[in-house]
Amino acid sequence: MDSTSIKKLDETVASRIAAGEVIERPVSAAKEMLENSIDARASDVKIALSQGGRASLVIEDNGCGIAWGDISLAVERHATSKISTLDDLEHVRTLGYRGEALASIAAVSRMELRSRRRDDDSGGVIKIEGGSVIYCSRVPCMPGTRVQVDDLFYNLPGRRKFLKSASSELKRIIQVVQDYAVARPGIRFRVSNDGKEMLDIGGVADTDELLASLWGQESRSVRAEARSAEGALVLWWNALPGSKRVSLTAFVNGRRVQDSTIRSALNATGASIFGEWIVMLDFRPEDVDVNVHPAKAEVRFRHQGAVFELVLRGAKKALLYGGGFSKETATLDFPHSPHETSPNSWENYIPETPETGRHTSAGAESASNILPGGTKDLFSDEEMGASRKYLGQTQGGYLVFDDPRGLCLLDAHAAHERILYEGIEDSFSGSRAASQLLLSPQELPSAVAAAVMRNRDELSKMGFAFRFPQDEGSDGTEPVMTSLPALRGLGRLSPLEILRSALKGIEEETDPSKRDREIWWRWARTACRDAIKLGRIVEREEALDLFDRLEKCRQPYSCPHGRPTTIFLAGEKLKSWFER
Q: Write the CB contacts of 461 (distance below 8 Å, at least 6 apart in sequence).
A: 431, 432, 433
CATH architecture of 354-411+534-577: 2-Layer Sandwich (3.30)
Residue 207: burial class (beta carbons within 10 Å; 0-12, 13-18, 19+): buried
Provide the 3-class DSSP secondary structure of residue 296. coil
Every domain of the chain and the residues it spans: 11-202, 219-348, 354-411+534-577, 424-530
Sign of the Cα pseudo-torsion (212, 46, 48, 277, in order): negative
**What integer pLDDT is reported at residue 364 of this predicted model?**
33
Strands (E), 413-518: 435-443, 465-467, 480-485
- The span from the CA of 455 to the CA of 447, in Å, is 13
CATH ID of 219-348, from 1.10.3720.10, 3.30.230.10, 3.40.50.620, 3.90.1150.10: 3.30.230.10
Assess contact for 108 and 156: CB atoms under 8 A: yes
Domain 424-530 matching CATH 3.40.50.300: the answer reads no
**H helix intervals, 331-485:** 345-348, 362-370, 382-386, 412-427, 446-454, 456-462
CA distances from 10 to 21, 75, 102, 133, 578 (A): 17, 19, 20, 17, 94
Q: Name the CATH topology of 11-202.
A: Heat Shock Protein 90 (3.30.565)
CA distances from 292 to 93, 283, 297, 304 (A): 15, 17, 8, 15
Q: For residue 256, what is the enclosing H or E element?
A: strand 255-257
- The span from the CA of 437 to the CA of 342, in Å, is 36
pLDDT per residue as tens, the chain (580 positions):
455 676 665 666 555 555 445 688 899 899 989 999 999 999 999 999 999 999 999 999 999 999 998 898 888 876 666 555 666 556 666 776 666 788 888 888 999 999 999 999 999 999 999 889 999 999 999 999 999 999 998 888 878 878 888 888 898 999 999 999 999 999 999 999 999 888 899 999 999 999 988 887 777 788 999 999 889 999 999 887 666 778 899 999 988 888 888 988 888 887 778 888 999 999 998 888 876 666 667 788 888 888 999 999 999 888 887 655 444 434 443 333 333 333 333 233 233 333 333 333 333 333 333 333 333 344 444 444 557 889 899 888 899 998 877 888 999 888 888 888 777 777 665 555 677 788 888 888 877 888 888 888 888 877 888 887 766 666 666 778 888 877 665 555 678 877 887 887 777 766 666 666 667 666 666 656 667 888 788 888 888 889 988 888 888 888 877 778 888 887 777 777 777 7
- Which string of b and e fits 334-345 if b means at least 16 CB within 10 Å? eeeeeeeeebee
**What integer pLDDT is reported at residue 489 of this predicted model?**
56
- The span from the CA of 459 to the CA of 262, in Å, is 35
**What integer pLDDT is reported at residue 462 of this predicted model?**
79
Other beta carbons within 10 angstroms of residue 481's beta carbon come to 22
φ and ψ at residue 288, rounded to 5 degrees = -130, 120
**Global confidence as pTM:** 0.63
Q: Kindly write down the DSSP assignment for every residue of 114-159, as one continuous string.
A: EEE-TTSS-EEEEEEETTEEEEEEEE---SEEEEEEESTTTT-HHH
Assess contact for 195 and 53: CB atoms under 8 A: no
